[in-house]
Copies of this chain bind each other. A is one copy, B any other.
Amino acid sequence: MNGPEKQAQRKEGSYLIFAEAEQSSSPFLPSSATAMASASSAASLRLLRRPIGLAPLRPARRLLCVASPTAALATDGDSSPASSASMAQPAVVDVNPPRGTRDFPPEEMRLRSWLFDNFREVSRSMAFEEVDFPVLESEALFIRKAGEEITQQLYNFEDKGGRRVVLRPEITPSLARLVIKQGKSVSLPLKWFTIGQCWRYERMTRGRRREHYQWNMDIFGMPKVRAEAELIQAIVLLFERLGITSSDVGIRLSSRKVLQAVLDMYSVPQHLFTQVCVIVDKLGKLSREEIEKELISTGLSSEAVQGIIEVLSLKSLSKLEEVLGSGVEAVADLKKLFSLAEQYGYADWICFDASVVRGLAYYTGIVFEAFDREGELRAICGGGRYDRLLSTFGTEDVPACGFGFGDAVIVELLKEKGLLPDLPRQIDDIVFPLDEELEGPASSVASSLRKKGRSVDLVEDKRLKWVFKHAERINASRLILVGKSEWERGMVRVKILSTREEFEVKAGELQ
């Protein structure tokens, strides 16, 4: 350990240990003796100080933060660096993942897999192909100047080679990058989906995480609103699979061409378009006055600002047509989309709402977002057309549109609606030797069942009572007991756990 580090340790003499509250006999309790014995390695672990009594984002079960007798209860500003352990004290590592991130223990992993399987199943039914990208990307892909929240919260850093890299905040730029890279080897239209983790760095507020998983579906090379219509069907199919109805959730949609038309009416220069969109998207978060002020500061006339605000309040397509005239693209696109929606059979899910603009700089046409009709949650998913993204990467544009669908809000909604599935652990067989000397035969029984495709939990060194409880807990179908007298006759005892039926089978004939 070098000088400054050692010094830092002395200075930061306080630390917290994490222990299980009800667990004085637990194998997991910090033990001074053990920790001392391994002091040399333990001391090399830095400890993170944690606020006491402040609920973690995802509270660890029955976990208690215990301060060491000498610990000063410093509150942990998000910007305080990690402190180090002093060599003399038992060092206990922080059992929580980095702030704002999640572990997935088995039951939460089952829920995630179930959700992702649904994403995949819908994508498959829409004939989309799965792709993936590194979670680490060049910062250059995400640097845009429109003042988006997403680019202000980049989880970026410099790698050891001096390159600016970023834990990606979204996946669309990577998709676009790969489309360019694949070039002529693919035929358009491309229909790709991906499920990946996205990151942001912001000061933590309660309930906001620094990572989430996002399902993305994107179509490249389809200029017509057919692409949007397909993407919206995918979203609706997903909701339907999860048991969500159109009275739970709606999809608001509009087009950025609406704003474009208004800007054209007031002769606002083209280069202000993106910036205006990003500002206007904050309606609802900021007050109307603040939005107006921001718009004025871009150089818009107050007439233009009023025109924008008025149009954004429109909730009917016919009213929009009245204001903009029927000749504008925005109106034609939206009308076509609504007419397709009738044919797909999801018209009751969608509604026009001119206030939908979405916060990403690169959208150019139709934009949409799904929302819970009770209005309790943030947008469930959002997307739109981005026909001019590729030219910002220096290549010729390809018409494109897509959406991102996070794993957080949908789970909240399912919870609220009582639609979270029951996903217990499930095992086919438990194999249990009744005697230690039968561990060999038990191995061969378990092995052959596994080769036949069954999931087999081989249990040893437990009481039979424990095994029965365990069987219940993991929803085992059968219990296979390997006993001495049976084995001598080449038999094992099988118990069907649902019916309590019990019988002997030749070990070799076990299916």
Contact = CB atoms under 8 A, between A and B. Distances in A.
A100 B175 CA distance: 18
B106 A131 contact: yes
A213 to B, nearest CB: 10
A82 interface: yes
A94 B161 contact: no
Contacts of A237: 450-451
A136 B61 CA distance: 22
Contact of A34 (B29, B191, B226, B391): B391
A139 interface: yes
A142 B122 CA distance: 39
Interface in A445-464: 446-448, 450-451, 453-458, 460-461
B140 A93 contact: yes
A124 B450 CA distance: 9
Secondary structure class of chain A's binding surface, majority of residues: mixed
Contacts of A94: 138, 140
A159 interface: yes
A110 B192 CA distance: 13
Q: Which of A20, A47, A160, A185 has the most CB of B within 10 A?
A: A160
Contact of A106 (B44, B93, B129): B129
A468 interface: no
A69 interface: no
A79 B160 CA distance: 7
A236 to B, nearest CB: 9
Nearest to A429: B127
Contacts of A388: 38
A5 to B, nearest CB: 11
Contacts of A179: 28
Contacts of A453: 125
Contacts of A163: 48, 81-82, 98-99
Interface string A139-158: 11101110000000001011
B126 A396 contact: no
A266 interface: no
A177 interface: yes
Interface in A76-113: 78-82, 90-99, 101-106, 109-110, 112-113
A506 interface: no
A427 to B, nearest CB: 5
A211 interface: yes
A82 B209 CA distance: 30
A298 interface: no
A26 B63 contact: no
Interface in A281-318: none
B456 A127 contact: yes
B164 A22 contact: no
B395 A31 contact: yes
A441 interface: yes
A135 interface: yes
A30 B395 contact: yes
A354 interface: no
Given A127-B457, A129-B109, A395-B31, A46 B181 contact: no
Given A99-B163, A345-B447, 20 more contacts: A22-B184, A27-B221, A28-B390, A28-B398, A35-B391, A42-B391, A45-B392, A45-B394, A62-B183, A63-B183, A79-B162, A82-B162, A92-B394, A95-B180, A101-B136, A125-B454, A129-B425, A160-B201, A224-B461, A344-B444
